[in-house]
Amino acid sequence: MARRSAVPDGPTAATFLTAVIIGGVNFVAVRYSNRELDPLFGAGSRFAAAAVLLFVVMAARRIGFPRGRAFRAALAYGVLSFAVTYALMYWALQELSAGVAAVIFASTPLVTIGLAGLHRLERFTRRGMLGAMTVVVGIIVLANPAPGSDIPMVRLLAVLGATLAAAEAVVIMKVVPPVHPMATNATAMALGACLLLAVSLVSGERWIVPTAGQTWAALAYLVVLGSVGLFGLILFTLARWTASGVAYMTPLFPVVAMIAGAVIAGESITLSGVLGGMIVLVGVYIGALRPGRHPAAPAAAEELL
């Protein structure tokens, strides 16, 4: 397996930052979508439409489907990154505050570093652990959860499960043969959409056609940029960078979401938000962006799938 650089080059850094911006704005778009559509139905519809769009483009460009280990990896990616992560997060946020959920989900880089080490995909580094822990501190300041709040443990465990699923999905996609990102995402999104819609149906959510223009605009953004664009950029970056480095997209999403919420939805920016965002940026720089020497990854990661 070809070694991926632990420090991004120019094009890789550009795709990383573009994905962070799109992913951060996604939070605002989802809020508009949730005003009219039930959460799992909205998420399932979003990924179903994105998968159809990808299939059409694949047919036009004659891009084949993944096969063998790549196909199994795409299915695992769909289950973990689309179905499990989104189902658990949406369910948890019915009672858990967004601030507490953001703090927990900010541990994705830390979990990814641990999983990448357990799978012998990357070596543990002090720098990576320091960066991940700094990011968690920044998100705690950014979210500013109320002291003494009553946190339902079952919902908290659901967010932990979503974090683990998202991190494992990133690690899995690091050990598969080279496949066109569009083929991988189309396969994964189609499976994820089917599972999300099945859970939506079983849970009794309403299936309706949206009528509000804002809902359609939000869905258009979420399908084209927030799904097809975002996850394509993630896989493009994964092919050229370390799994733990790519995982640092996640804690940057709340920083962009805070700014986008202020500009688009008129939400206020707090002092804790500004300070937390600065700490997050420092953590990302320490753990993923600062140039330096990095140990090579062991060679046994091919056995993951």
pLDDT of residue 297: 43
pLDDT of residue 254: 75
Local structure of 8: helix, strand or coil: coil
The answer for residues whose C-beta is within 8 angstroms of residue 53's C-beta and 6 or more apart is 223, 224, 228
Q: Which residues of the chain have pLDDT under 50?
A: 1-2, 293-305
pLDDT of residue 220: 95
Q: Give the CA diameter of the chain.
A: 57
Residue 155 lies in a domain: yes
Residue 305 lies in a domain: no
Total domain count, the chain: 1
pLDDT of residue 289: 59
Give dist(CA 300, CA 305) in Å, integer: 11
Residue 174 lies in a domain: yes
Residue 2 lies in a domain: no
pLDDT of residue 256: 83
pLDDT of residue 195: 96
User: Which residue pairs from 60-64 have beta carbons closer than 8 angstroms and sit at least 24 positions apart in sequence?
Assistant: 61/182, 63/180, 63/182, 63/183, 64/180, 64/183
Residue 104 lies in a domain: yes
| Domain assignment of residue 101, given as a range | 10-205+215-292
Q: How far is CA 285 from CA 6, 13, 243, 279, in A?
A: 12, 12, 15, 10
pLDDT of residue 296: 44
- Give, as one character, the DSSP assignment of residue 241: B
Residue 128 lies in a domain: yes
The continuous run of DSSP H or E covering 194 comes out as: helix 181-202
Q: Which of 304, 32, 13 is nearest to 172 (CA)?
A: 304
Residue 157 lies in a domain: yes
Residue 149 has a CB neighbour count (10 Å cut-off) of 10
Give dist(CA 222, CA 217) in Å, integer: 9
